[in-house]
Amino acid sequence: MSIVEAIIDTSVWGPILLFVIGVPAAICNAIIFLGVKTFRQSPSSYYVVGQSIFDLDNLLIVLLESIPSTSMNASAIACKLMIYFSQIIGPCAMTFLCLSTFDRWACTSRSAKLRQLSSIGIARRIFPIPVIVWPLVRVPYLIYCDFIPPFFTCGFTNLLFAEIALSFLAPIFSVIFPLIILIIFSILTYRNLHLMTTDNAQQQSVRTRLSMWEQQITRMMIIKTVLNISCTLLRCILMIYTIATLNQRAMRSLNRIYIETLLDQLT
């Protein structure tokens, strides 16, 4: 199979496969954390359900983008809305993942003050913040994205904003900063769990401070976070490479363009 055939197959079947697998998984995830009483009592349930909702939206955006009649190149309105919503949904999902990782770290902390940060009340107050903040932050995408003549393809109409978005907003806020948060708090949470299970002197306080089901949720969240870190890290490497070679884009060979396009689709 040639690279061109791989790109075509990935662009056609990739979104469908992700949608078929991802939608049931996200729905089951939300149902479990809403339906099971012990899970529902955890503050992480708010963040997990929030991430599941935006994961569903993200899968829908990817599927619609693969259909010519609903893609961003279908019309000027579709161009604006598809880019705008794609810039909201991804960061919202990543924000809820970061919040759930932080919550697990606070929940497993030895400090009583830090453990107070993991509560249903705080989760309820924090939950609407990403939903409100990210749509406001991403308004410039709605303003500066439109059809660009003479080919009338969807893109940025303001060169300055295009440079800021591609070189700073996209890599920093969507990939690098969340990745750093996930790595740091995942390591700290794993360290807390390790200390709790190996320090015999604290075993009695562990039983009263953190129930077994909370420990299970924490382990589940660590595994989920590690998988997200692995996928995000690949995307981060590709974005850094793209920014580093931005000045060489006009001199790229056709084969190099095909390879970069395929890697972009896979990550």
208 band by pLDDT with thresholds 50, 70 and 90? very low
Dump pLDDT digits (tens) for 148-161.
877 778 889 998 99
State the helix-helix crossing angle for 212-244 and 177-198, rounded to 10 degrees: 150
- The strand ranges marked E within the chain are 145-148, 153-156
Name the β-bridge partners of 147.
154
- Average pLDDT value for residue range 210-221: 75
Average pLDDT score over the chain:
84
Give the pLDDT confidence score for residue 207 in this predicted structure: 47
Q: How does DSSP classify residue 119?
A: S
Residue 263 neighbours by CB distance under 10 Å: 15
91 band by pLDDT with thresholds 50, 70 and 90? very high
Q: What span, in angstroms and rounded, lies between the C-alpha atoms of 252 and 103?
A: 45
CATH code for residues 3-266: 1.20.1070.10
> What is residue 28's three-state secondary structure?
helix
Asked whether 159 and 144 are in contact (CB, 8 A), the reply is no
Asked whether 7 and 258 are in contact (CB, 8 A), the reply is yes
Structural domain spans, the chain: 3-266
pTM of the model: 0.86
Asked if pLDDT for residue 200 goes beyond 50, the answer is no
Residues 20-40: b if buried by 16+ CB within 10 A, e if exposed: eebeeebeebbebbeeeeebe
Give the pLDDT confidence score for residue 198 in this predicted structure: 64
